[in-house]
Structure 1
Amino acid sequence: MSGFVFNTTKSIVSEVDASARIADLAGSLLGRRIVLVTDRGLRRLGIVDPALASFARAGVDVAVFDDVDADPPERNVSELVDLIRSHHATGVIAIGGGSPMDVAKLGSLIAGGGEKLSDVYGVNVAKGPRLPLVLVPTTAGTGSEVTPIAIITTGGAEKKGVVSPLLLPDIAVLDADLTLGLPPAVTAATGIDAMVHAIESYASASPNNNPVSNGLSKQALRLLGANIREAVFNGKNREARGAMLLGSLLAGQAFANSPVAAVHALAYPIGGHFHVPHGLSNALVLTHVLRFNLPKAAGRYAEIAADAFPELADISFARRADAFIHALERLGRELNLPQGLREVGIPREALPMLARDAMKQTRLLVNNPREMTEGDALAIYEAAY
């Protein structure tokens, strides 16, 4: 067995209504003056109110930062850092999807260590330290609560990542009740996003592709495949919602150590230029990238096919990878997700630009099972159009 490294969040709490007693779970870590990071939509819906009430009962002084944008720009991080410093915060908590969690990660790092955001982009560049950090996801998709990664939109539409174990939070809290109100379209797209994490991690060409990540990917696909339809079409099913949250977390642990690849590389320009949500961007290119990878990754896809879709166990191993891709295509249609780039308003003439920008995602493309050129990326976008 080759050597590998596996890092993850120190403590994971999975409990219905956990956010309502968050001060008991995390108050001693976060201290008496904290900043809570969320977005305006969640604040308006009252999603963070139980947590705020819990801190108020404990006498904790909370400042709320709810100006996080979708595909957050660098500005969000600098504004959060200013608030953390002016509030003399002793800890940071995020309640939200991937965007608030990523902004909170970077805010706690920059405010805690004094580095500049522009100096920490890349892999293992950040030196830290960071402030105590707790992450509470409200979607079952990004797995950000267990990943050492934060993605920010820089300049116009390019996305850059900070990758460092320092970004792993001290505590991740899974509360299925926070996801009960997610609309079907968001549930579907974020659920597919989590499946992409598991699939790409399992087939990753990273030298750190490891048996722990592999096992987590397979278990994640079992949970996600068995529950995604119920979560989309019967969103009040707490058991299905909890299974999706756990599946997303397991997939996040997997790809945090055996990293994702070309699906994400091609998805980032779609989100950066056209503000398509990240999960949906992944869904739009997923099967086309997998089909491109078949000459190199068919065996790996065949190994996980029946985890996501148990009925594929009855198909011969030689045919299973192709059947897996067809099953993912059917799933996208069943969940009423858009089936082509044109359906989300992307003009055909933009495809060459997307292909050029995808090639900038070198930290992801290096993990793809099959080497990809700009011409290959363009062909995939055309197939996805």
Structure 2
Amino acid sequence: MRPFTIHATKAIWFGPGVAGTPAQDIASLLGPRVIVVTDAGITRLRLAGPFIAALEKAGATVAVFDGVLPEPPDMNIETAADMARDMSATGVVGFGGGSAMDVAKVVALVVGSSQTLSQVYGVNVATGPRLPLVLVPTTAGTGSEATPVAIVVASRTKKGVISPHLLPDAAILDPELTLGLPPAVSAATGIDAMVHAIEAYTSISPNRNPISRGLAQQALRLLGGNLRRVVDHGDDIGARSAMLLGSFLAGQAFANSPVAAVHALAYPVGGRFHIAHGVSTGLMLPHVMRFNLPEARRDYTTIASDIFPDLAAASEVTRAEAMIDALSDLVPAIGLPTTLQAIGVPESSLPDMAGEAMQQGRLLINNPRPVTLEDALRIYQAAFG
């Protein structure tokens, strides 16, 4: 067994209602001046209200930055960081989906350290320290509360900040916060979590290890067994709980065994055409898996019945292909688009997108099968429809 390293979120609170009554430990951790980073939708729905009220009751002054955009631009971080500096913030909360949590992570980093945003892009470039950080997800998909990764759009290109400094001090997992998610959001975030687990399990990263693989398999059991349920019956708190925990476990898995070509090819779709991340990863998933099949067949065969228990009865010779076919059927069944053409991507843009995808070397290096520029273009052409 080869050496490996596990980085993890320090503390986790899980359960219905826990965000409305955060532990005193949370208030003590964040200190007297807290900035909550979120988006306008969370403010409109008042989802963060009970959490903020609890902090204020504990004596904290709370400021809210609710300008986070989907696929957050670097200016979101700069603006929120300026607000945090102006109030001499002692702690940062990311409350919302992956975009809000990613912005909060980087705000905590750049305000707490001497580094600027442009100086922290890349893998293990950030030196820290950061401000105390608590993350509260309101979707079940990104797993950002479990990862040392934040993704930012700068000049239409997605850039990553990857550092253990981004792991939060605490994650608060409250499935009640996900009850109001529309079916389309539940579908997109849920399929994204499945992509995280699949890519973590099959990653050829030197840090792929028994713990990350076990987390990925447990995540796939929870996600595969409940994704269609939360899309069709969004008020099912049991299914919502399973999805939220599955998303966290998938995030923990890929935090230590990084994702690969599905994400590399999805990034240009989101960055260029402002397509939700889960929509683009779900769309690219079956096409990348078919490309990877010659090298990933054994792993795909292993996890097939975790996602789709009925496939346990399928022949091992055909189980991997059957899983890819089942995932191809699942995407439209939960209401997501299945072709690039359907989401408005012009065919003429495919060569440039392939070039952009090849710039994601930190991801492609983890793919089970090497991807060339020509391969990337062929995968896009297959996904075009």
TM range (shorter): over 0.9
Q: 1:120-170, CA deviations, whole angstroms, 9 ceiling, x for partnerless residues? A: 111111100000000000010000001000000011x11110110000000
- The code of the aligned residue for 1:384 comes to A
- The code of the aligned residue for 1:381 comes to Y
Mapped contact 1:227–1:243 kept (Cα < 8 A): yes
Mapped contact 2:283–2:331 kept (Cα < 8 A): no
What is the CA–CA distance in structure 1 between the aligned matches of 2:96 and 2:238, rounded to whole Å?
20
- For residues 124-163 of structure 1, what are the structure 2 equivalents within 5 Å? 124-155=124-155, 157-163=156-162
Q: Is 1:342 the equivalent of 2:326?
A: no
Q: 1:266-318, CA deviations, whole angstroms, 9 ceiling, x for partnerless residues? A: 00000000000001110111000000000100111111000000000001112
The alignment of Structure 1 onto Structure 2 pairs a total of residues equal to 384
Mapped contact 2:105–2:166 kept (Cα < 8 A): yes
What is the CA–CA distance in structure 1 between the aligned matches of 2:40 and 2:306, rounded to whole Å?
37
More divergent stretch after superposition (167-176 vs 46-55): 46-55
SS, match of residue 369 in structure 2: coil
What is the CA–CA distance in structure 1 between the aligned matches of 2:72 and 2:365, rounded to whole Å?
25
What is the CA–CA distance in structure 2 between the aligned matches of 1:101 and 1:33, rounded to whole Å?
18
What is the CA–CA distance in structure 1 between the aligned matches of 2:71 and 2:174, rounded to whole Å?
24
Shift of 1:22: 2.3
Mapped contact 2:18–2:172 kept (Cα < 8 A): yes
Runs of 4+ in 1 over 4 A off after TM superposition: none
Mapped contact 1:23–1:54 kept (Cα < 8 A): no
Partner in structure 1 of residue 324 of structure 2: 325
What is the CA–CA distance in structure 2 between the aligned matches of 1:350 and 1:47, rounded to whole Å?
39
Mapped contact 1:213–1:257 kept (Cα < 8 A): yes
- The code of the aligned residue for 1:274 comes to F
Partner in structure 1 of residue 350 of structure 2: 351
SS, match of residue 93 in structure 1: strand
More divergent stretch after superposition (243-252 vs 10-19): 10-19
What is the CA–CA distance in structure 2 between the aligned matches of 1:69 and 1:341, rounded to whole Å?
23
Partner in structure 1 of residue 372 of structure 2: 373
SS, match of residue 34 in structure 1: strand
What is the CA–CA distance in structure 2 between the aligned matches of 1:84 and 1:57, rounded to whole Å?
20
Q: 1:208-265, CA deviations, whole angstroms, 9 ceiling, x for partnerless residues? A: 1100000000000000001111111100111100100000000000000000000000
SS, match of residue 205 in structure 2: coil
Partner in structure 1 of residue 71 of structure 2: 71
Mapped contact 1:92–1:131 kept (Cα < 8 A): yes
Mapped contact 1:98–1:137 kept (Cα < 8 A): yes
Shift of 1:24: 2.7
Mapped contact 1:180–1:236 kept (Cα < 8 A): yes
Partner in structure 1 of residue 271 of structure 2: 272
Shift of 1:18: 1.1
Mapped contact 2:134–2:171 kept (Cα < 8 A): yes
Mapped contact 1:23–1:58 kept (Cα < 8 A): no
Mapped contact 1:342–1:348 kept (Cα < 8 A): yes
Mapped contact 1:35–1:63 kept (Cα < 8 A): yes
Partner in structure 2 of residue 41 of structure 1: 41
SS, match of residue 36 in structure 2: strand
Matched residues, percent identical? 58
What is the CA–CA distance in structure 2 between the aligned matches of 1:25 and 1:74, rounded to whole Å?
31
SS, match of residue 357 in structure 1: helix
What is the CA–CA distance in structure 2 between the aligned matches of 1:378 and 1:41, rounded to whole Å?
36
What is the CA–CA distance in structure 1 between the aligned matches of 2:354 and 2:360, rounded to whole Å?
11
Mapped contact 1:74–1:153 kept (Cα < 8 A): yes
What is the CA–CA distance in structure 2 between the aligned matches of 1:53 and 1:339, rounded to whole Å?
43
What is the CA–CA distance in structure 1 between the aligned matches of 2:179 and 2:285, rounded to whole Å?
26
The TM-score with structure 1 as length reference comes to: 0.99
Partner in structure 1 of residue 257 of structure 2: 258
What is the CA–CA distance in structure 1 between the aligned matches of 2:167 and 2:57, rounded to whole Å?
28
What is the CA–CA distance in structure 2 between the aligned matches of 1:84 and 1:18, rounded to whole Å?
25
Partner in structure 2 of residue 26 of structure 1: 26
SS, match of residue 22 in structure 2: helix
- The code of the aligned residue for 1:42 comes to I
What is the CA–CA distance in structure 1 between the aligned matches of 2:293 and 2:261, rounded to whole Å?
13
- For residues 1-385 of structure 1, what are the structure 2 equivalents within 5 Å? 1-22=1-22, 24-155=24-155, 157-385=156-384
SS, match of residue 159 in structure 1: strand
Shift of 1:25: 4.6
What is the CA–CA distance in structure 1 between the aligned matches of 2:129 and 2:58, rounded to whole Å?
27
Q: 1:62-99, CA deviations, whole angstroms, 9 ceiling, x for partnerless residues? A: 00010111111111111111111101111001110000
Mapped contact 1:94–1:100 kept (Cα < 8 A): yes
Shift of 1:56: 2.3
What is the CA–CA distance in structure 1 between the aligned matches of 2:347 and 2:76, rounded to whole Å?
31
Mapped contact 1:23–1:55 kept (Cα < 8 A): no
Q: 1:183-222, CA deviations, whole angstroms, 9 ceiling, x for partnerless residues? A: 0011001000000000000000101110000000000000
SS, match of residue 35 in structure 1: strand
